[in-house]
Amino acid sequence: MHMTGYQCINCGATLAVDFDGYVCPTCKGNLDVQYDYDTIRAALEKGDPFGGARQDQFKYLPFLPIQSVESAPPVRVGATPLYPVPRLGAVAGLNNLYLKDEGLNPSASFKDRASALILARARETGVQVVCGASTGNAGSSMACMAASAEMPCVVFVPEKAPPAKIAQLLIYGAKVMAVRGTYDDAFDLCAKVCAAKGWFNRNTGFNPFTREGKKTSSFEICEQLDWKAPDRVIVPTGDGNIISGIWKGMKDLYAVGLIDQLPRIDCAQAEGSAAITHAVHRLREYGKTPLGVDWRSVSIEPVSADTVADSISVDDPRDGMAALRAVIESGGQAVTASDEEILSAIKDVARNSGVFVEPSCACAWACLRKLAEEGRVEKDERIVCLMTGSGLKDIQNARKVAGEPTVIDPDLDAALAALG
């Protein structure tokens, strides 16, 4: 294992590799896992280190904070397709658009990347129970990974989480606690229970290893593009952990010379849940550049989230500072889409690419289309739009824009008449 310790994203404090907490003991900021890039680079120079028995996200073991792939869950996580989608790109005048379809992970969500890594880390450190809070996807993902490896799992969700996601949690055998309140209420209660019982807290934007699992999507994107980084990646963003993971993965590859440039990382948010976008705009209004930001003095103001995109509906983004840094440091943009634009985008993506996505992913396309229409991206840029979850997660919202079937009598004449 090439992990060397931790660094606080807020204050820059460093911690030893044997630190057994979750957040910075100095300022309570989130932690970033550190690696010995010189050793990784030397291993790369000796040959292909990614050709082992696992050909999913665990093939990138040199960049992961675990000792062996033997601790990984048996199900395939990652190795998701990167589709060129010229017809969808043409809708916005873009010539080199790709979709990274993360809905093909075992629980139909990007969150499997984090949960699989959390499970591996938990098994190597002797954890008995994993626990987390979720709006649905992270929880069903953790339940899926835990079921595959016979690990007890407890998940706290808001009472109004989508029924399809609750069904996944229950069918995998997780103990589900439906909290009368918001995701933030579930998050806080989960943390208290984990502290009281000594359980391994999987919470996004709290456990530093979630970002380490999510960054593997960046590795795949660049490998699928023949080890060339895209010009930009647009990421649906709620608590901020996915976008910070995508940036972390790109920086890892750049640090060891596997890619020769870093992409811009764009933050796509729903208008009703845009705390990170607001923070990006405030920093730039003051003319701040990455070198001019004292991150210890930066704060992100919570919002009262209200959006159809439940997977990115967050009042107080728990990994917001890392997300904010990803956008600012990469020179990316932060954009919002209305619920109406998000719902319309579900249909756009499906009918022009064949990929059925939930509202959070549709938000990424809606925001990218807006950037293109405003002339804020170049038509020939190579752009990856991250699709983080299957549309089967939220059929109710898809039906709002899908239309209705044509009802006919069961005879040939009726069918031909209806078809025209």
CATH code where residue 350 lies = 3.40.50.1100
| Residue 131 domain flag | no
Structural domain containing residue 273: 82-108+210-401
Which among 368, 340, 394 has a CA at the least distance from the CA of 94? 368
The answer to whether residue 247 is domain-embedded is: yes
How far lies 262's CA from each of 83, 365, 387, 394, in Å? 21, 21, 20, 34
17-56 pLDDT, tens per residue?
999 899 999 999 999 999 999 999 998 888 777 877 789 9
Q: Report the DSSP beta bridge partners of residue 383.
A: 97, 232
Residue 390 lies in a domain: yes
pTM summary value: 0.94
Q: Is 396 a domain residue?
A: yes
Residue that wins the pLDDT comparison between 286 and 215: 215
- For residue 337, the cross-strand partners are 270
Q: Is residue 273 assigned to a domain?
A: yes
Is residue 234 pLDDT above 70, yes or no? Answer: yes
Residue 257 lies in a domain: yes
The residue among 7 and 293 whose pLDDT is bigger is 7
Q: Which pLDDT value is given to residue 290? A: 67
Express each pLDDT in 109-161 by its tens digit.
999 999 999 999 999 999 889 999 887 788 889 999 999 999 999 999 888 88
Strands 175-179 and 153-158: parallel
The answer to whether position 351 is within a domain reads yes
* 380 located within any domain: yes
Structural domains counted in the chain:
1
Element (H, E) at 217: helix 216-224
In 3-state terms, what secondary structure has residue 186? helix
Angle at 218 between CA 327 and CA 32, to 5 degrees: 60
